Structure 1
Amino acid sequence: MSQVLALWQKMSAVPVIGTRVFSVAFAQKAPYFSSIRPRFTVLEPNHVELVIPKRRRVHNHLGTLHAIALCNGLEAAMGALAEATIPADKRWIPKGMEVGYTAKATSDVTCVAETDPEQWTSEDPDLPVRVRGVRDDGTVVIEGVIRLWVTPRK
């Protein structure tokens, strides 16, 4: 089991504060993530969800969540998914992101990253992670793919 997954399981067992402490600690590992204050709600192999709170600091000129803040949330979800899912004999690095903005982000947004288990055992090093951001009312505001390059550890 990965360190990220083990820490999540330990921390999420502590009511209310455990997931918050995990979220802050995760954001400190890659400090740019802290700019969106992600709140992880689900972290398991092949599926991660986190919430970006709608607050002025991450607004655009329209008063909605900024597109890059949304991308930052998707990348944080993808990174946690990769760490929780990747086999111990492999390593990963992001190699690109393709997203489409489908609606205004007028509320908190839940960022979701997903893969299928067989993707991690494939010989193909190109691994697409499906990502999307969903408003409180269920409307998808951003969706796309983050491509990983997965290779054997040396």
Structure 2
Amino acid sequence: MSDNYLLKMYQKAAKLPRGRRLFSIMFSRKAPYFGTIKPLIAELRPDYCKVTFKKRRAVENHIGTVHVIAICNAMEAAMGALAEASIPKHLRWIPKGMDVRYTAKATSDITAIAEVAPGAWENGPELPVTVTAYRDDGTVVVEGTIHLWVTEKPARE
């Protein structure tokens, strides 16, 4: 088991019935806006996170597809879980920006994946996190990058 607090919580929860759902609710309470899509953190490991959410009326746009902002919310949730589960203890992160491209209509439930290369956390003050969202049939509906500032944690007095 990992020594990272978020990974430990996830790994413990994943062993319980509906544990991933419970973990996802707790995670969404940390950043309440994530809760608007009712995400499920389906997989979490260092440098990788997969989040899913259901297509339902509350996340649809005027043409009946999943609204891209709901999809970006899922991609940011995946990035946030990945970052907290992966970053070395002496570093901290904050989002700097997000670049996305809409590539297809989002007509089904959505899977959002965030990932970085192993060892990427030590490469400098900016870290690009690849984010991709898929329909149920595997079609990419949104792809992009979330840019993070990565800095040393300040010394505690």
Taking structure 2 as the reference length, what is the TM-score of the superposition? 0.95
The equivalent residue for 1:35 is 36
Q: Deviations over 1:50-76 (max 9, x none)?
A: 102100001000111101000000000
Counterpart CA distance in 2 for 1:2 and 1:147 is 22
- Partners of 2:148 and 2:129 lie apart in 1 by 7
User: What displacement does 1:3 show?
Assistant: 1.8
Q: How far off is 1:5 after superposition?
A: 1.0
Q: Secondary structure at the match of 2:44?
A: strand
What secondary structure is seen at the aligned counterpart in 2 of 1:75?
A: helix
1:52 maps to what in 2? 53
Matches within 5 A, 1:1-154: 1-15=3-17, 17-122=18-123, 124-154=124-154
Gaps of 5+ in 1: none
- Measure how far apart 1:117 and its partner are: 1.6
The 1-side partners of 2:79 and 2:49 are apart by 7
Indicate the percent of aligned positions where both proteins have the same amino acid. Answer: 55
Distance 1:3 1:64 in 2: 36
Runs of 4+ in 1 over 3 A off after TM superposition: none
TM-score (norm 1): 0.97
Q: Secondary structure at the match of 2:11?
A: helix
Pairwise CA RMSD = 0.7
What is the aligned length?
Answer: 152
Unaligned runs of 5+ residues in structure 2 are: none
- Give the aligned residue type for 1:140: V
